[in-house]
Amino acid sequence: MPDSKPTSALPPPLALLRDTPAGAIYALAAKNELLEGVEACQHRAVAGAEWRDDRRVLTLELAAGPQVSFSATGPQLQIECSCRKWSPGRHCSHVVTGWALLKRVVSPESLAASRFSDRLLRDVEILVGLREGEVPSAPKKPSLADRLAEARRIRAVKLAARAKAAKPAKVTATKPDKSDIRLVLEIGWP
C-alpha cells in the first residue's frame, strides 16, 4: 500500500473521507449492517465507479447491484444507496462497504483491524482514478443468463453432493409401499 494520498490531489468526496476519523464508521449503521458491510470488504467486488458534478459526486457500483453515492456538494459527505434497505436515517451494509473501501484507499493505515481484499482495494483505486494502469479485475455484472447458468450449476453440485451423501443409506426408503390401497365406493341401497 502506498502512503496516504495528499488531500489536495483528492476529489472532494475522497478528501472529506480522508479527513474523517476511521472510527466514524461505527456511527454509520446498525451493528448488523456494520458487520455485514465490513465483512464484504474481503470478497465483494466493485463493478464500477462514476464521477459526476465536477468530481463532487462519486458513485460506486457494487457487483451485487446496489449503487452507493458519495456526494460532497456541501460541507458534509452525503451518502446514499440505491437498495431497498437504505433510508436517509438508516444506512445499509453497502454504504458501510463503500465507505470502508474508500477510507482504506485514501487512508491506508486506517481500519487496521478489518480485513480487506488487496485485489478489491486495488480495483477500487483504479476505478476511482487514484491508480494508473491495468484494467480492474472486477467482474462485470453478470447477465441474467449467466446468473441462471450459475444457479443451475450450484443446484447440480448440491444435488450431486446430496446423492453422494444418500448413497450409503438403504434403498428401501424409496420403494413404494406394498400395502394395498383400495378406494371403495359404496352405493347405499335403500
What are the E-state strand segments in 27-155?
Answer: 46-52, 57-62, 67-71, 78-81
Q: Which is nearer to Zn ion, 10 or 81 (CB)?
A: 81
Binding mask 85-124 for Zn ion (x = CB under 5 A): -x-----x-x------------------------------
Q: Which is nearer to Zn ion, 66 or 136 (CB)?
A: 66
Q: Fill in the DSSP letter of residue 90.
A: B
> Which residues, numbered 47-86, are part of the site for Zn ion (CB under 5 A)?
66, 81, 83, 86
CB 61 within 8 A of CB 47: yes
If binding is defined by CB under 5 A, does position 37 make contact with Zn ion?
Answer: no
Instruction: Show the 3-state SS of 165-182.
Output: HHCCCCHHHHCCCCCCCC
User: Least separation, in Å, of the C-beta of 158 and Zn ion?
Assistant: 28
Number of residues forming the site for Zn ion (CB under 5 A): 6
User: Least separation, in Å, of the C-beta of 29 and Zn ion?
Assistant: 10
Pairwise CA distance, residues 190 & 162, whole Å: 57
Residue tagged 434403498 (cell numbers): 171
Q: Which is nearer to Zn ion, 10 or 40 (CB)?
A: 40
User: Least separation, in Å, of the C-beta of 83 and Zn ion?
Assistant: 3
With H, G, I as helix, E, B as strand and everything else as coil, classify residue 11. Answer: coil
CB 99 within 8 A of CB 17: yes
Cell of 72: 460532497
User: Least separation, in Å, of the C-beta of 44 and Zn ion?
Assistant: 12
Binding site for Zn ion (CB under 5 A): 66, 81, 83, 86, 92, 94
